[in-house]
Amino acid sequence: MVKDELLSLVDKGEMLPLMEEFYTIQGEGFHKGTAAYFVRIGGCDVGCHWCDVKESWNANLHPPTAVASIVENAAKYSNTIVVTGGEPLTWNMNPLTNGLKNKGLDIHIETSGAYPLTGEWDWICLSPKKMKLPLAEVYEKANELKMIIYNQNDFKFAEEQASKVSDSCILYLQPEWSKREKMIPEIVDYVMKNPKWKVSLQTHKYLNIP
Ligand code: SF4
């Protein structure tokens, strides 16, 4: 396929820069402990300094992959599919979620919400980042809000973000992994004083699974 043709298919969301896909256990947030097939899409310009998947940022490093092939692989492994990145909403997610829905699968997304919400989702995990705030439409539709706590200032940011989501959105505070020893006691204390929040941990890292 010539380069222009490939780019046009990526533009339409019929091909996506796939970084990796794997079957594992969702470690974080509301669905922690659930077996799920992860589809990690390359491309992100949000620029979190503590990002643990910096290899995902440059979409050009990840081969444009036909959505039909991602769907076929996913359907072999699990009823629960987690689309993550990178920032998956960099791309048009409609063809991917149409394909997954046609197979009757439950589709979750993990997003910073910084780009327009494409695709049809059964669960939206919104994790806002200060450098590029979510769009209004993503706040409205988020099922869970996952705030990463790197330092004390992040509690204030978390409250600002919580004021923008719907009443039914479930609120999580999750320590940034490299700061977990320092921040876990502060998060525990904060949640006991502010019980609208729940604690989320990256349990997959404790389990030594991807
Ligand atoms: S939004 Fe996610 S993928 Fe992008 S830089 Fe931040 S943590 Fe990394």
Give the tens place of pLDDT for each residue, 28-86: 999 999 999 999 999 999 999 999 999 999 999 999 999 999 999 999 999 999 999 99
For residue range 109-145, list pLDDT tens digits in order. Answer: 999 999 999 999 999 999 999 999 999 999 999 999 9
Domain ranges of the chain: 3-206
Q: What separation in Å is there between the alpha carbon of 90 and the centre of ligand 1?
A: 12
Mean pLDDT score, 174-196 = 98
Joined together, the tokens standing for residue 72 give 């076929």
The number of the ligand 1 atom at minimal distance from the alpha carbon of 44 is 4
Closest-CA residue, ligand 1 atom 3, reads 86
The candidate with the shortest Cα–Cα distance to 82, out of 162, 13, 28, is: 28
Question: Phi, psi (5° rounding) for residue 62?
Answer: -120, 125
Q: How many CA atoms lie within 13 A of 55 on its CB side?
A: 5
Instruction: Ligand 1 pocket test: pick from 57, 112, 148 the residue with the most ligand atoms within 8 Å of its Cβ.
Output: 112
Nearest alpha carbon, ligand 1 atom 7: 51
User: Per CATH, is 3-206 categorized as 3.40.980.10?
Assistant: no
